[in-house]
């Protein structure tokens, strides 16, 4: 009499077991389906900052994915096979770039409920230097950089050190260069093998930032660098043009100078002036001695000869240099030169001499 209810309960139990089994199998098949989605196990990317590390740079690597929640994933980071970080949601790690051309293999292993995979990237140290100078004028044997002034040009040369995967470095001609001025690409200066660039100098007292990106043919490695270039006002430097030793470039005269003679020829060197202004004879030299205008020499307007006579004393020399075609050039200089009385030892009277003869 009780057999039918028992059978009914048993039937319900069998039905529930069957449904649970089907649900389990279905969920397992769904998980397997998620794992088998084409490209699902590679839907991860690693970004590097900086993207072009130099030797010794601290490089931050960040894991991301548009399909999976990496914050809930079990993540293991390895650098050259050595575990450097492990844990749930550890999506950021920092490694140190090796020596120039050295490559560090970084592998990240990701495990979630639906995928178990790994992603690999490389941290390759590279370098890119920029050498630059202006085409402005500097005297012979000058060791410093020629600085740009208004209406001159800046010449830049990129020196790349980008390693090849098989060893060695790419030659400059193999790389593609992207030159930028204040962030804007200079299209006509960019391209394959264009490792040098020439730009007009900034306006007077202005500046700009020039950057260059060099990229290997397969875009696997790159390097970048930037420089800030500012225009300066030409500097007037006074030297003695000694009758026996010639131009004394090794001894620039300071604002106050003692000369143990009563006659001397001086020459001014306009550092960083536009070379075209010099070669085209466009410069105007306006000399003064103790406030009196002294005509410049027609053949050597950059020189001034002073004869202090027998009285000696102080000659206040001033010079204004302008360019007939460059209104931005207006350089000025001043020097107090003390001549010995009678051309012998001693500092003279210490007061401005009554008579100085210039360029005579």
181-215 pLDDT tens trace = 999 999 999 999 999 999 999 988 899 999 999 99
pLDDT of 348 higher than 50: no
List CB contacts of 94: < 8 A, sequence separation 6 or more.
Answer: 58, 59, 60, 61
Last residue of a domain, one of 66, 100, 124: 124
4 band by pLDDT with thresholds 50, 70 and 90: very low
How far is 263 from 113, CA to CA, in rounded Å?
95
Query: Is 32 found in the same domain as 137?
Result: no
Mean of the pLDDT values across residues 205-234? 93
352 and 276 co-located in one domain = yes
CATH number, position 139:
2.60.40.10
- What was the pLDDT predicted at 342? 65
**Same domain for 158 and 215:** yes
Least confident of 179-183, 226-230, 356-360: 356-360
Q: Are residues 279 and 240 in the same domain?
A: yes
Q: In this structure, are 155 and 63 located in the same domain?
A: no
Share of the chain above pLDDT 90, in %: 61
Residue 346's pLDDT band (boundaries 50, 70, 90)? very low
pLDDT score, position 343: 59
User: Do 65 and 15 fall into the same domain?
Assistant: no
Tens of pLDDT, residue by residue over 98-141, are 999 898 999 999 998 888 999 999 999 999 999 999 999 999 88
Residues 158 and 178 in one domain: yes
User: String of b and e for 19-52 (b: at least 16 CB within 10 Å)?
Assistant: eeeeeeeeeeeeeeeeeeeeebbebbebebeeeb
* 166 and 93 within one domain: no
Q: Which of 3-17, 71-85, 171-185 shows the lowest mean pLDDT across its residues?
A: 3-17
Q: Does the pTM exceed 0.85?
A: no
pLDDT in tens, 16-69: 333 344 333 343 333 333 444 555 556 899 999 998 899 999 999 999 999 899
**330 and 254 in one domain?**
yes
Number of domains making up the chain: 4
Whether 257 shows a pLDDT value over 50: the answer reads yes
* Residue-level pLDDT at 355: 43
Residues 56 and 143 in one domain: no
Q: Which domain holds residue 307?
A: 235-358
Choose between 9 and 75: higher pLDDT: 75
- Check if the beta carbon of residue 331 is closer than 8 Å to that of residue 233: yes
As a whole number, mean pLDDT of residues 235-245 equals 92
Domain boundary among 72, 106, 124: 124
* Average pLDDT over the chain, rounded to an integer: 84
Checking if the pLDDT of 74 tops 80, the result is yes
Q: At 354, is the secondary structure helix, strand, or coil?
A: coil
Q: What is the separation of C-alpha 93 from the centre of its chain, rounded to a whole number of angstroms?
A: 28
pLDDT tens, position by position, 132-149: 999 999 998 898 999 999
Do 30 and 46 share a structural domain? no
Q: Which of 102, 124, 146 is the last residue of a domain?
A: 124
Predicted local distance difference test score (pLDDT) of residue 318 = 96
Q: Does 142 share its domain with 183?
A: yes
* Residue 318: how many other CB atoms lie within 10 Å: 17
Tell me whether residue 5 is exposed, middle or buried, using C-beta atoms within 10 angstroms of its C-beta: 0 to 12, 13 to 18, 19 or more.
Answer: exposed
């Amino acid at each position: 009499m009780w057999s039918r209810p028992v059978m009914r309960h048993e039937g319900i139990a069998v039905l529930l077991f069957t449904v649970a089994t089907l649900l389990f199998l279905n969920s397992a098949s769904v998980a397997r389906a998620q794992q088998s989605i084409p490209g699902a196990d590679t839907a991860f990317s690693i970004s590097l900052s900086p993207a072009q590390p130099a030797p010794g740079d601290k490089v931050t690597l960040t894991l991301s994915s548009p399909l999976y929640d990496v914050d809930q994933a079990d993540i293991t980071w390895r650098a050259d096979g050595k575990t450097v970080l492990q844990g749930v949601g550890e999506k950021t790690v920092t490694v140190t770039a090796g020596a120039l051309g050295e490559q560090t293999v970084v592998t990240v292993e990701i495990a979630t409920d639906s995928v178990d995979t790994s992603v690999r990237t490389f941290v390759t140290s590279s370098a890119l230097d920029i050498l630059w100078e202006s085409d402005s004028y500097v005297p012979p044997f000058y060791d410093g950089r020629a600085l740009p002034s208004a209406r001159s040009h800046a010449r830049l040369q990129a020196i790349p050190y980008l390693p090849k995967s098989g060893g060695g470095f790419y030659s400059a001609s193999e790389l593609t260069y992207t030159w930028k001025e204040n962030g804007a690409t200079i299209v006509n200066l960019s391209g394959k093998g264009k490792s040098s660039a020439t730009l007009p100098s900034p306006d007077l007292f202005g500046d700009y930032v020039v950057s260059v990106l060099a990229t290997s043919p397969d875009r696997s490695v790159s390097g970048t660098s930037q420089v800030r270039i500012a225009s300066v006002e030409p500097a007037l430097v006074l030297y003695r043009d000694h009758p026996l030793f010639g131009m004394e470039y090794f001894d620039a005269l300071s604002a106050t100078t003692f000369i143990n003679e009563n006659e001397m020829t001086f020459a001014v060197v306009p550092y960083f002036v536009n070379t075209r202004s010099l070669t085209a004879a466009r410069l105007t030299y306006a000399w003064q001695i103790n406030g009196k205008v002294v005509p410049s020499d027609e053949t050597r307007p950059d020189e001034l000869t002073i004869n202090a006579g027998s009285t000696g004393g102080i000659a206040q020399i001033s010079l204004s240099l302008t360019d007939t075609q460059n209104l931005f050039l207006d350089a000025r200089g001043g020097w107090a030169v003390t001549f010995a009385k009678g051309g012998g030892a001693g500092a003279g009277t210490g007061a401005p001499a009554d008579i100085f003869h210039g360029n005579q």
